[in-house]
Amino acid sequence: MKEYRVLVGEKEITIKPNSLAEQSNGSVFVQYGDTVVFSAVTMSRKVKEDMDFFPMVVDFEEKFYASGKIGGSRYTRREGKSSDAATITSRLIDRALRPAFPKNLKGREVQIISTCFSWDEENAPDILGLVSSSVALMISDIPFNGPVGAVRVGIKDNQFIANPTYIERKNSPIDVVFTGVKDGNNISINMIDGDFKESKNSIIHKAFIFAKEYIGKLCDIQEEITREIGQKKIEIEPVVIDELFKKEISEIVGDDIVVALSEKDKARRLDIIEKLKERVSAVLQKKYPDDREKIKQFFLFIEDKTEEIIKKEILSGGSRPDGREVDQLREIEGRVGVLPRLHGVGLFSRGQTKVLSTLTLGPPGDYQLIESMEGPKEKRFIHHYNFLPYSVGEIKSMRGPSRRDIGHGTLSERAIVPILPSIDDFPYTIRVVSEILSSNGSTSMASICSTSLALMDAGVPIKKPVAGISIGIIQNKQNMEYKLLTDIQGLEDHYGGMDLKVAGTDEGVTVIQMDSKIRGIDDIVFNEALDRAEKTRLKILGKMKEVLGSPRKNLSKYAPRVISFKINPDKIKEVIGPGGKVINEIIDKTGATIDIQDSGVIFITSNKKESAEKAVEWVKSIVREVEIGEIFKGEVKRILDFGAFVEILPGQDGLVHVSKLSNDRVDKVEDIVKVGEIVSVKVVGIDNQGRISLSIKDAY
C-alpha cells in the first residue's frame, strides 16, 4: 500500500492506508517520529428507525505494550477500563469530527477506534488519533464531509512551533490543539482545546492563525489520498417534510411554539413544549393511525421550527429566549462556607446553573497515582465533576462518572492548575468535588468559579481566582450574518453553532475549549469572541471578589496540619528503619502521617497539633548529628561482656566500653548498669562509620 508524507513542524507525518481491518469500512496507520496510531471506522449496515440522533462512538485505546511495558494489575496483566487521559483523547477526536458528518445520518451507528500501537516517549498520540480517524473516514464509504486536519501549537524561543514534543510542551506558555476543515482556500477552525499560563488574547489569536497552515496541509494530503483510493460514499436519503403536511402541521400548531419559547423558565418551557407535542401527536395518530412516518416528520418540524424562530428573533435584533441582550450576563451569585466541618465550600450560581464545590485537604501522600501507557504520574490537585440527573429534572441510573463528567472535570482542573501554590509553599493534596445542582448552560465554567471560591474559603494560597464563561454564536447560513451570544444557556447551545469556553484570571487565559456545530469559524469571529469572553470574565471575577476577595488567612480548624522540613537524604533509611520498623512505630505512637521524598523533604500531617509536633521531634532526634562532648540521658538497651549500648536519641545508640563505665575496676558490666536503666553519658568519639563511643565516668 502506498505511503503518503506531509511535513508538520520538524517531522513528517506518514500516512499508510491499508486493508488490515478488512471488515471495517476503512483503516489506516499514521506515524510521527516512532509514535504510531492505527484507526478503523465502522458503520452499521442497518438504520435504527427509532433513533432521532446520530449514534457515533469514539474510542481511543492506550496499550502498555506501545511503550514497552507489561502494565495492568498483578493478577490480570492486561489493560482495564480506559484511563481518564484516553477518555479525554476520545472526546477530543469526537468533538473535532462530529460536526463534519451529514445532518441526515441519524440512526446509522458509527464507531471509530484509534489504538496507539507504538509510543516513542517524545510525540503524543492524540493528534495522530485524530488525523488517522479523519483519513479512515475519508477513504471509507461512510458519508463524511471532511477532511479534518489537526495540529498542536506551542511556543519555543518566542516562536510558534507545530506539534511540540512533551519537553517542549512542558516549557511552553501555551499548549493548544486546533482542528479544522478546508473549503477552497479558506480554513475554518471547528475545535480548540488548550492550556495557557495566563496568556493574552493576542497570543492566542496569533496561534489560531499559525495553526491554519498545517491544518490546510493535512486536509490537502487527505484529499489526495481520497482521490486515489477513496471508496464511493453510501447515499443517505434526507428526511424531507412534505409541503402539504408541513402546512397542515403549521395550522394545528399555530403560534404555540412561539408562546412556548417566550417562557423564560427552562422547566416550564420544556413542559409547555412537551404538552404541545402530546396534543399534536394525538391529533396525527387519530388522523393517520398507520403512518408512523407522519409522527417522525412532525417532531422534525418542531425541531426545525424552534431553530428557525430562535435564530430569526436573535438575528433580527430581538431578545434571546430568556429576554437578555446578546452580550448580557445572567444574574451572578456566590457564597462560601455554606456547609459545616468541610475544609472549604464554594457555591456559584449563574442564572439557572448552580454548582456546589467542596474542598478536602489531605497530606502529600494522598496524591492520586495514575497508571497509563505514558507511565505513572502523581496528581496532588484533583477535581471531580458530577452531573446529577435532578439538575435537569430527569431520572437516570447513576453508574459512576460519564465521559462528559470526566471531560468537564478535567477541563476545570486544567483551568485551576496554573494558579495553585507549589507543594513547597503548600504541602497538601487538594481534592475538589463539583456537584451540578441545576443546569442550564455551561456548568463546566460555573464549576471553575465555584472551585475558586472553595479554594479561597479553605485558605489555599492561590495566586488569584479563576473564572470561566461560554460564548456562543447564532448564524444565518444564507448570508453568513451572525451574532455572538454571551453566557449561553441550554437552548442556545443546542440550536447555536459554537460553544467557546474560556477561563482565566484578570491577567490572562488559563484554558480554552471550543466545540462547533457549524463548519467552523474564522479568525475574525474568534478574535471577537475572545474579547467578549475577557470582558465578561472580568465582570464575573468582580462579583466573586465581592464574596471573598482573597484566600482566608487560616485553614479550617477541621483541616489537617502539615509540617515540612528537610533532612540529610542519607538519613532517610534511619527514619524508615529495617522493614519500616522505625517509621511505623512513630506513626503508631503519635497518630501522625509521615511522607518522605527522595530529596530528604519530610511532611508530617495530623489533625492534632500535639501529635504532629511529637512526630517532628522524634524524626529530628533520629537524624540529629551527634557531636563529641555532648551529654545525654539515655536508656541502657543491651549489655555485652565488653560494655553496654545506650540509646541517646530515638534510633541512635552508642557503646559505653567497660573501661568507660566507672573510674573503679569493673569485673562485670551488670555490676554498674542494668537494662532499662537511665544513665548520663558523654559522647567521647565517633568513628568513620558513624559509630558512637560513650562514657559514663566522664559524664559527671
Question: Of 514, 506, 498, nearest to 534 (Cα)?
Answer: 506
CA distances from 227 to 131, 142, 231, 269, 286 (A): 17, 15, 9, 49, 51
pLDDT grade for 114, boundaries at 50, 70 and 90: very high
Does residue 537 carry a pLDDT above 90?
yes
- ∠ CA 187-483-472 to the nearest 5 degrees? 75
Quick one: residue 569, left, alpha or beta (phi over 0 = left, psi -120 to 50 = alpha)?
alpha
pLDDT of residue 202: 97
Alpha-carbon Rg for the chain, nearest whole angstrom, is 33
- Determine how β-strand 56-61 pairs with β-strand 110-118: parallel
Element (H, E) at 202: helix 201-229
Q: What is the pLDDT of residues 92-106, one digit of tens each?
A: 999 999 999 998 888
Q: What is the pLDDT of residues 16-36, one digit of tens each?
A: 999 899 999 999 999 999 999
Residue 363 near residue 591 (C-beta atoms within 8 A): no
Q: What is the mean pLDDT of residues 137-150?
A: 96
Q: What is the mean pLDDT of residues 517-545?
A: 96
The arrangement of strands across the sheet holding 26-32 comes to: 4-8, 11-18, 26-32, 35-43, 110-118, 56-61
Q: What is the mean pLDDT of residues 76-98?
A: 91
How buried is residue 210: exposed, middle or buried, by Cβ count under 10 Å (0-12/13-18/19+)?
Answer: middle
Q: Which of 200-204, 285-289, 579-583, 683-687 has the lowest mean pLDDT?
A: 285-289
Does residue 59 carry a pLDDT above 90?
yes
Does residue 489 carry a pLDDT above 80?
yes
Mean per-residue pLDDT of the chain: 92
With a pLDDT cut of 70, the percent of the chain lying above it is 100
Cis peptide before 421 (omega within 30 of 0): no
Please tell me the distance from the alpha carbon of residue 176 to that of residue 152, in angstroms, as a whole number: 6
Q: How many CB atoms lie within 10 A of CB 646?
A: 25
pLDDT of residue 131: 98
- For 80, phi then psi, to 5°, come to -100, -140
Answer yes or no: CATH 2.40.50.140 is held by domain 631-695. Answer: yes
Q: What is the pLDDT of residues 390-423, one digit of tens each?
A: 999 999 998 889 999 999 999 999 999 999 999 9
Residue 561 near residue 593 (C-beta atoms within 8 A): no
Taking the CA of residue 597 as centre, how many other CA atoms within 13 Å lie in the half-sphere pointing to its CB? 16
Please tell me the distance from the alpha carbon of residue 126 to that of residue 113, in angstroms, as a whole number: 12
Residue 20 near residue 81 (C-beta atoms within 8 A): no
User: In 439-555, which ranges are E strands?
Assistant: 467-475, 482-486, 498-504, 509-516
User: What are 334's strand-pairing partners?
Assistant: 348
Instruction: Give the single-character DSSP code of 600.
Output: S
- Determine how β-strand 631-640 pairs with β-strand 35-43: unpaired
User: What are 73's strand-pairing partners?
Assistant: none
**Residues in Cβ contact with 427 at an 8 Å cutoff, skipping those fewer than 6 apart:** 364, 562, 564, 603
pLDDT grade for 377, boundaries at 50, 70 and 90: confident
Residue type, 27: S
Does residue 373 carry a pLDDT above 90?
no
pLDDT of residue 637: 93
Q: Helix 443-458 to helix 403-416 angle, to the nearest 10 degrees?
A: 50
Which of 181-190, 246-255, 662-671 holds the top average pLDDT? Answer: 181-190
Question: Of 326, 323, 327, 331, nearest to 349 (Cα)?
Answer: 331
Quick one: residue 29, left, alpha or beta (phi over 0 = left, psi -120 to 50 = alpha)?
beta
Does residue 523 carry a pLDDT above 90?
yes
Q: What is the mean pLDDT of residues 519-543?
A: 97
Please tell me the distance from the alpha carbon of residue 569 to that of residue 364, in angstroms, as a whole number: 18
Q: What is the pLDDT of residues 296-337, one digit of tens each?
A: 888 888 888 888 888 888 998 777 888 899 999 999 999 999
Instruction: Give the single-character DSSP code of 203.
Output: H
pLDDT of residue 511: 98
State which CATH number among 1.10.10.10, 3.40.50.300, 3.30.230.70, 3.40.50.261 fits the domain covering 4-229. 3.30.230.70
Question: Of 146, 111, 115, nearest to 226 (Cα)?
Answer: 146
pLDDT grade for 462, boundaries at 50, 70 and 90: very high
Task: Say which residue the cell 529530628 belongs to.
Answer: 620
Question: Of 332, 334, 317, 428, nearest to 382 (Cα)?
Answer: 428
Please tell me the distance from the alpha carbon of residue 307 to that of residue 491, in angstroms, as a whole number: 9
Q: What is the mean pLDDT of residues 552-565?
A: 92
Can you give the pTM of this predicted structure? 0.89
Residue with more model confidence, 32 or 651: 32
Torsion of CA 215, 219, 222, 227, to 10 degrees: -170
Does residue 38 carry a pLDDT above 70?
yes
Taking the CA of residue 119 as centre, how many other CA atoms within 13 Å lie in the half-sphere pointing to its CB? 23
pLDDT of residue 628: 92
At the top level of CATH, which class does the domain 332-547 belong to? alpha beta
* Alpha helix ranges (H) inside 41-165: 84-97, 126-139
Please tell me the distance from the alpha carbon of residue 99 to that of residue 473, in angstroms, as a whole number: 15
Q: What is the pLDDT of residues 559-610, one digit of tens each?
A: 999 999 999 898 899 899 899 999 999 999 999 999 999 889 999 999 888 8
Q: What is the mean pLDDT of residues 67-93?
A: 86
pLDDT of residue 31: 97
C-alpha grid cell for residue 588? 503508631
Task: Say which residue the cell 500501537 belongs to.
Answer: 117
Q: What is the pLDDT of residues 352-368, one digit of tens each?
A: 999 999 999 999 989 89
**Residues in Cβ contact with 575 at an 8 Å cutoff, skipping those fewer than 6 apart:** 567, 582, 583, 594, 596, 602, 619, 622, 623, 651
C-alpha grid cell for residue 231? 471508496
User: What are 56's strand-pairing partners?
Assistant: 110
pLDDT grade for 292, boundaries at 50, 70 and 90: confident
Q: How many CB atoms lie within 10 A of CB 467?
A: 28
Taking the CA of residue 639 as centre, how many other CA atoms within 13 Å lie in the half-sphere pointing to its CB? 13
C-alpha grid cell for residue 301? 418540524
- Determine how β-strand 186-199 pairs with β-strand 332-336: unpaired
- Structurally, at CATH architecture level, domain 561-623 sits in 2-Layer Sandwich (3.30)
Q: What is the pLDDT of residues 204-239, one digit of tens each?
A: 999 999 999 999 999 999 999 999 999 999 988 777
Please tell me the distance from the alpha carbon of residue 154 to that of residue 156, in angstroms, as a whole number: 7
Q: What is the mean pLDDT of residues 232-260?
A: 84
Q: What is the mean pLDDT of residues 115-138?
A: 97
Does residue 135 carry a pLDDT above 80?
yes
Q: What is the pLDDT of residues 175-214, one digit of tens each?
A: 999 999 999 889 999 999 999 999 999 999 999 999 999 9
pLDDT of residue 479: 63
Q: How would you write 268-311 as a 3-class SS string?
A: HHHHHHHHHHHHHHHHHHHHCCCCHHHHHHHHHHHHHHHHHHHH
Residue 670 near residue 639 (C-beta atoms within 8 A): yes
Element (H, E) at 118: strand 110-118
C-alpha grid cell for residue 61? 485505546
Task: Say which residue the cell 394545528 belongs to.
Answer: 252
With a pLDDT cut of 90, the percent of the chain lying above it is 67
pLDDT of residue 434: 98
